[in-house]
A and B are shown apart, each in its own frame.
Chain A
Amino acid sequence: MGATSVASPAPLNSAPSSFPSLKALKFTTKQQELLIRVSALALIYVLAFVVRLFSVLRYESMIHEFDPYFNYRTTLFLTKNGFSEFWNWFDSESWYPLGRIIGGTLYPGLMVTAALIHRILHFFSFAVHIREVCVLTAPFFASNTTLVAYFFGKEIWDSGAGLVAAALIAICPGYISRSVAGSYDNEGVAIFALLLTFYLFVKAVNTGSLAWSLASAFGYFYMVSAWGGYVFIINLVPLYVLVLLVTGRYSMRLYVAYNCMYVVGMLLAMQIRFVGFQHVQSGEHMAAMGVFFLLQVFYFLDWVKYILNDIKLFHSFLRITLTCAITVGVLALSIGTASGYISPWTGRFYSLLDPTYAKDHIPIIASVSEHQPTAWSSFMFDFHILLFLFPAGLYFCFKRLSDATIFVVMYGLTSMYFAGVMVRLILVAAPAMCLVSSIAVSATVKNLSSLVRAKSKSPQGSGKPLSGSKAAAKASADQSLPFQKNGAIALLLGALYLLCRYAIHCTWVTSEAYSSPSIVLAARGHGGGRVIFDDYREAYYWLRQNTPPDAKVMSWWDYGYQITAMGNRTVIVDNNTWNNTHIATVGRAMSSYEHEAYEIMLSLDVNYVLVVFGGVTGYSSDDINKFLWMVRIGGGVFPVIKEPDYLVNGEFRVDKGAAPKMLNCLMYKLCYYRFGEMTTEYGKPPGYDRVRGVEIGNKDIKLEYLEEAFTTSNWIVRIYKVKPPKNRW
């Protein structure tokens, strides 16, 4: 890492064209360093791709989880029907009977990227299926992120730090968690776009060139097209500009960089239909506009001060302008906010500032497990040694402050705050942690290795021009501490040990925790062999092959995307959760008695009901465990559903002591139908629920308006057919 070899190199027989004679087959130091850097980067590139392939090797090349199935379905549509159809697509197969304007309510960046890669590969006669492209898009972009991290590290510190940053982010678990092969989700591409935008912007601020600023505007456009988290960029960059203005580090380059990026970037961002006019109307984007106007006023005053050359006159001019500007600004802001033209912060982002907001007001946001606050163990799990390298890196950044290091420090601190509020945002903090930590690692290793290589006899500092390194000065002043060289070697070995442990930890974490497809479950059987539960796909393919094409399926919103993508049937609600009342209707149906639920199902034209039940296998993410959320969301809209009706002394039970409404509601009946006769564990009575750990209370279940259509081989997914209304006589 930054140590170059000065010993005579062995003659290498490569690239004969760059050497005039056979005698000069030795590489110069600069060429050796370039070779080392390029080969290290190439290895890091391949490593970042390969480490994410665990699930492809263990299971098969398939799409994981829930959201990626929607992205896959839209990408399939895009490759089959072209961009114009995709951009104007109205989907009647989800949110029956409302439908969904897909073209206007998604972020197209991911799908367009995958479709483009697919088309390029087909152009070169690689006939790959779009699913393979989708599965491997995220690892490919993770590799590209390492390259961007290298250039970013080079920009803020030096090329050694860049290499370390690339290596750290290639295997950082916080990033891997959302970018494994098969996790075809927006974040896989968005983190690449985020880092690219930041890098281009910092480059623009450093060089003051309009071309780099234009490039960062395009980077921002890519980010806006890829993920809703672009709001982070449009708030961090103005905050950075404000900090530079306040600390007096502003310059002309800052003006050029920010203005071009803001205006062109905002215009480009408004081309995405889902974003629309939010850049001029939404409260979350007002900071950028405010800073834009502030910059104009600020630099105008700066210019007037420069040409006037007279302090007193300038002060009076300053007073006039400032009063005008502030009045106009405050007036505009207050009129805009009061009249409602500037919309307030949406619940999604407001809950980041006030974490208790979602639990009281928007239960759907609060129910998602990724939106919970982060525990300390998650930080250690996802970051490992980066946790203590981050403050060390902050120290080095403050020692050598420049525009670029200020940006990285701000990015690191803000993203760490948000990572503490919501588990999902650890992903956004991961690049910042890697960059800042890489500065610490690179600077420390450089200092230590210079100590090791210092020759104690020559006082002229034998050719090691390291900036600000007190160690080199000490060595050349010949006042070296005893055993300094040994101490440095010991510390270097310690640093090497830490980095090795980091690599081992990351690989273990990826292998154990982040490589499960969630749609296929695996467990260890009695003999130690691996048992695969493929029930989800079994159920969806049963739906695809055994139901009429216009059948409508009611299930909880978690499974909506998968049902439409794999089962190819119309669903009532899905993971988009854009209509809370519709979801509450389904929640109400699931928590009502069977005859009440039948009315609701008839009104929605439901033909099949799908529930997930883990009592036989011990699978704990089933619908009974999610049931209280159904009650809360349903009760939020229909006051007839009251949560205390389903609890006994505030406790959620399903055994004999459970509340009577719980024992007779639709969800209970559908999950436990015929379960009372089943023996799940040796030595336990029949009807023993392995997840809740109790024997169920109501074993004698009779269904009047539904009949069982299909139960998968491990009872995980159960499908029921809704009977048509009885004849009147």
Chain B
Amino acid sequence: MAKGTNDAKLLIQSLRKAYAATPTSLKIIDLYVVYAVATALIQVAYMAMVGSFPFNSFLSGVLSCVGTAVLAVCLRIQVNKDNKEFKDLPPERAFADFVLCNLVLHLVIMNFLG
């Protein structure tokens, strides 16, 4: 048991150390992702309390959070300099794609909100 907690502590420490080495721009994107997922979880908890009617509003709320989180992760992947597959992609193009997809996502959400 002690070895287990020791392992866990070592794990968390090395994770924290490795994460501190990431550039700030990526950390900002990670913060946005965490915020979006947290909002989604809050909405699910609220739905569990008051029921799921109207279902389309609940779905649009949760899916907008999940969608924008996923798109932010895609942006992070494309902007990260360590990814050799995307080294030809200028970060402006990646950000423009991100904005476009978010625009479409939120327009559909607004139609679905009801």
The complex places the Cα of A518 from the Cα of B50 at a distance, in Å, of 55
- Please tell me if the beta carbons of A308 and B18 are within 8 angstroms of each other in the complex: yes
A251 touches B109 (CB 8 A): no
Determine whether the beta carbon of B18 is less than 8 Å from that of A309.
yes
In angstroms, Cα B80 to Cα A255, docked, is 14
Query: A148 → chain B, closest Cβ, in Å?
Result: 22
Chain A 246-263 residues near chain B, CB threshold 8 A:
251-253, 255-256, 259-260, 263
* Cβ A271 vs Cβ B111 within 8 A: yes
Which of chain A's residues have a CB closer than 8 A to the CB of B32? none
Interface residues of A in 269-308 (CB under 8 A from B): 270-271, 277, 280, 304, 306-308
Please state if B104 and A264 are interface contacts (CB–CB under 8 Å): yes
Other-chain contact of A270, B14, B59, B78 (Cβ < 8 Å): B59
In the complex, A99 Cα to B77 Cα: how many Å?
52
Determine which of B11, B19, B85 lies in contact with A252 in the assembled complex, contact meaning CB atoms within 8 Å.
B85
- How far is A213 from B63 in the complex, measured between Cα atoms in Å? 17
Query: Chain A residues with Cβ under 8 A from B86's Cβ?
Result: 208, 252
With a CB–CB cut-off of 8 A, which chain B residues contact A263? 63, 66-67, 70-71, 105
Check if B71 sits within 8 Å of A210, measured CB to CB. yes
Complex contact A208–B85 (CB within 8 A): yes
Q: Judging by beta carbons under 8 Å apart, are A260 and B109 in contact?
A: no
- Do A267 and B67 have beta carbons less than 8 Å apart? yes
Q: Is B18's CB under 8 angstroms from A211's CB?
A: no
Q: Within 8 Å of chain A (Cβ to Cβ): is B35?
A: no
With the chains together, A280 CA to B77 CA distance in Å?
27
Residue of A nearest to B22 (CB): A307
- Asked whether, in the complex, the Cβ of A316 is within 8 Å of the Cβ of B105, the reply is no
| Chain B residue, CB-CB nearest to A267 | B108
**Cross-chain contact B108 with A277 (CB below 8 angstroms):** no
What chain A residues lie within 8 Å of B66 (beta carbons)? 263
Alpha-carbon separation in the docked complex, A313 to B60 (Å): 39
Residue of A nearest to B19 (CB): A307
Contact code string B63-89 (vs A, CB < 8 Å = 1, else 0)? 100110011011101100011011001
Bound Cα distance A256, B101 (Å): 12
Contacts of B83 in A (CB 8 A): 252
Contact present for B100 and A316 (CB under 8 Å): no
Tell me the smallest distance from the CB of B3 to a CB of chain A, in Å.
10
Is B29's CB within 8 Å of the partner chain A?
Answer: no
The reply to whether B18 and A214 form a contact with Cβ atoms under 8 Å apart is: no
B55 contacts chain A at the CB level, 8 A cutoff: yes
Q: Check A268/B108 contact, CB under 8 A, given A210-B101, A310-B14.
A: yes
- Chain A residues with Cβ below 8 Å from B71 are 210, 259-260, 263
For the complex formed, measure the closest distance between the CB of B6 and the CB atoms of chain A, giving whole angstroms: 11
A59 on interface, CB distance cutoff 8 Å: no
Chain A residues within 8 Å of B10, by CB = 313
| Contact, CB under 8 Å: B78 / A210 | yes
A259/B63 in contact, CB under 8 A: no
Shortest distance between the CB of B33 and any CB in chain A (Å): 11
Contacts of B11 in A (CB 8 A): 313, 316-317
CA distance A214 to B100 in the complex (A): 9
Q: Give the contacts of A665-679 with B (CB-CB under 8 A).
A: none
Q: How large is the interface on B (under 10, 10 to 19, 20 to 34, 35 or more residues)?
A: 35 or more
Most buried by B among A255, A256, A309: A256
Q: Which residues of B contact A256 (CB under 8 A)?
A: 74, 77-78
Query: Once bound together, how far apart are the Cα atoms of A308 and B21, in whole Å?
Result: 11
> Which of B60, B73, B98 gathers the greatest number of chain A CB atoms within 10 Å?
B73
Closest chain B residue to A266 by CB distance? B63
Is B15 part of the binding interface, using a Cβ–Cβ cutoff of 8 Å? yes
A209: Cβ under 8 A from any B Cβ: yes
Instruction: Give complex CA distance A166, B48 in Å.
Output: 52
Q: Give chain A's interface residue range (CB within 8 Å of chain B).
A: 20 to 34
Q: Which residues of B contact A310 (CB under 8 A)?
A: 14
Residues 35-50 of chain B, each 1 if its beta carbon lies under 8 Å from chain A, else 0: 0000000000000000
Say how far A286's CB is from chain B's closest CB, in angstroms.
Answer: 15
Residues of A190-245 contacting chain B, CB below 8 A: 208-211, 213-214, 217
Q: Given contacts A210-B94, A264-B101, A267-B112, is CB(A308)–CB(B70) below 8 Å? A: no
Residues on A with beta carbons closer than 8 Å to the beta carbon of B19: 307
Chain B nearest CB, measured from A288 CB (Å): 14
Cα–Cα, bound, A209→B112 (Å):
26
Contact of B101 among A214, A270, A280 (CB under 8 A): A214
Nearest-Cβ distance from residue A251 to partner chain B, whole angstroms? 6
CB distance from A255 to the nearest CB of B (A): 7
A209–B101 CB distance below 8 A: no
A433 shortest CB reach to chain B, Å:
32
B70 in contact with A260 (CB, 8 Å): yes
B74 partner, pick from A210, A270, A280, A306, beta carbons under 8 A:
A210
Do B74 and A259 have beta carbons less than 8 Å apart?
yes
- A-side contacts of B108, CB under 8 Å: 264, 267-268, 271
State the CA gap A214–B107 with chains docked (Å).
Answer: 14
Contact check, A264 vs B105: say whether CB atoms are below 8 A apart. yes
Q: Give bound CA distance, A622 to B48, whole Å.
A: 56
Instruction: Give the shortest distance, in Å, between A553 (CB) and chain B (any CB).
Output: 38
Interface positions of A from 388 to 402, Cβ below 8 Å from B: none
A1 to B94, CA, bound (A): 38
> Do the beta carbons of A308 and B14 come within 8 Å of each other?
yes
Please give, as numbers and ranges, the residues of chain A lying within 8 Å of B73 by CB-CB distance.
Answer: 255, 259
Partner of B97, one of A209, A277, A304: A209
Given A264-B108, A271-B108, A316-B7; A308-B15 close (CB under 8 Å): yes
Q: Are B74 and A260 in contact (CB under 8 A)?
A: yes
CB neighbours (8 Å) of A253 from chain B are 85
CB-CB under 8 A from A307, the residues of chain B are 15, 18-19, 21-22
Indicate which residue in A210, A277, A304, A308 contacts B59 across the interface (CB closer than 8 Å): A277
Give the docked Cα–Cα distance between A264 and B21 (Å): 33
Q: What's the Cα separation between A270 and B108 when bound, in Å?
A: 10
Binding site for B on A (CB under 8 A): 208-211, 213-214, 217, 251-253, 255-256, 259-260, 263-264, 266-268, 270-271, 277, 280, 304, 306-310, 313, 316-317
Which B residues fall within an 8 A CB radius of A? 7-8, 10-11, 14-15, 18-19, 21-22, 55-56, 59-60, 63, 66-67, 70-71, 73-75, 77-78, 82-83, 85-86, 89, 94, 97-98, 100-101, 104-105, 108-109, 111-112
A-B pairs with lowest CB-CB distance, top 5: A210-B97, A307-B18, A263-B67, A256-B74, A259-B70
Give me 17 A-to-B residue pairs in the complex whose CB atoms sit less than 8 angstroms apart, sorted by A's number.
Answer: A210-B94, A214-B97, A214-B104, A217-B104, A252-B83, A255-B77, A256-B74, A259-B73, A264-B67, A267-B109, A271-B111, A271-B112, A307-B18, A307-B19, A307-B22, A313-B7, A313-B10
Beyond known contacts A267-B63, A267-B109, A304-B15: 7 more, CB 8 A cutoff: A210-B74, A210-B101, A255-B74, A256-B77, A271-B112, A307-B21, A308-B15
